[in-house]
Amino acid sequence: MAPAAMLDLELADAEPPPAPTEPQLADPFQQASPTLPGSAGEHLLQCAYGTEKRARRFYDDQVLDRLNDEMKRFIGRMEMAFVATADARGECDASLRAGPPGFIEVLDDQHVCYPEYRGNGVMASLGNISENPHVGILLVDFVTDLIGLHVNGKARIVEDSDLRAIYPALPSEFDRGRTPERWVVVQVEEAYIHCRKHIPRMMPVLRERTWGTDDVKRKGGDYFGAKGMPRPWHEVSTGR
């Protein structure tokens, strides 16, 4: 056998090198308070940058593991929310959810849910939740109080009929006759304020919305001019 062929055979039979292991961060506050809010990473950086006292004061003054009555009332008047999710590999997505005031339902002090309607069919947020239940929701009052609320927790996807069997008081009348296909139910693990310092004041303006339309122009069309541009998955799928 030629040397080149031998080399090819050896390479083909060789065991792949072990995958590099992720470094494990040791939480400096774990022993002192194993239930302290936040991640090991943020605790380490607090130590590195000398912000432990400020951070601990914020945890003690503002972070709850449930919703209090003021937070519930705040959620009940919000018309939109930003939802952050990540898949099992940690690749992230942020999305906007909107509806009439109170479209996010407060089920109790540790559970909220929001409706999922017919959309573009991509299921980016729901797909991430199916792999990784951790979600972060940010609600911001841009109009009146200029304040925000973070709600972090673990989510699960529940079909509309199944959730109604458990919570029959869920609303049955929806804006423009839209009906949820399913709901995202979030178990609250952290709830805390987003300060007003950099929140701009906005003024709501009436506009006509065509809910549920598939009309490309009404949905924004090809606003960013992306339609005709090449994609790497096109090359794979077409064999080019």
CATH number, domain of 160, equals 2.30.110.10
The pLDDT score that the predictor gives to residue 15 is 55
Question: Using only C-alpha atoms, what is the Rg of the chain?
Answer: 24
- In a domain? residue 82: yes
Query: Using one digit for the tens of pLDDT, what is the confidence trace for 10-19?
Result: 444 545 556 5
Show the tokens assigned to 70.
Answer: 């003021």
Number of folded domains in the chain? 1
More confident call, 6 vs 119: 119
- In a domain? residue 164: yes
Query: Residue 77 and residue 96: Cα distance in Å, rounded?
Result: 16
Task: Spell out the residues 6+ positions from residue 107 whose beta carbon is closer than 8 angstroms to its own.
Answer: 113, 167, 185
Q: Model confidence at 3, in pLDDT bands (50, 70, 90)?
A: very low
- In a domain? residue 159: yes
Q: What value does the mean pLDDT take over residues 61-87?
A: 97
CA dist 141 → 39, 44, 65, 101 (Å) = 27, 32, 22, 11
CA dist 80 → 103, 163, 191 (Å) = 8, 22, 17
The pLDDT score that the predictor gives to residue 28 is 79
Show the tokens assigned to 196.
Answer: 């007003």
Q: Which of 23-32, 111-120, 152-161 shows the lowest per-residue confidence on average (mean pLDDT)?
A: 23-32
Show the tokens assigned to 78.
Answer: 């919000």
Q: Model confidence at 2, in pLDDT bands (50, 70, 90)?
A: very low
Task: Tell me the pairing of strands 92-98 and 147-159.
Answer: unpaired
Task: Spell out the residues 6+ positions from residue 213 whose beta carbon is closer than 8 angstroms to its own.
Answer: 219
If we measure between CA atoms, which residue out of 63, 73, 153, 62 comes closest to residue 106? 73
The pLDDT score that the predictor gives to residue 14 is 47
- In a domain? residue 55: no
Q: What value does the mean pLDDT take over residues 23-35?
A: 73
- In a domain? residue 216: no
Q: What value does the mean pLDDT take over residues 104-114?
A: 97
- In a domain? residue 94: yes
- In a domain? residue 5: no
- In a domain? residue 225: no
| Domain boundaries, position 190 | 69-194
Task: Spell out the residues 6+ positions from residue 136 whose beta carbon is closer than 8 angstroms to its own.
Answer: 83, 84, 150, 151, 152
Task: Spell out the residues 6+ positions from residue 61 whose beta carbon is closer than 8 angstroms to its own.
Answer: none
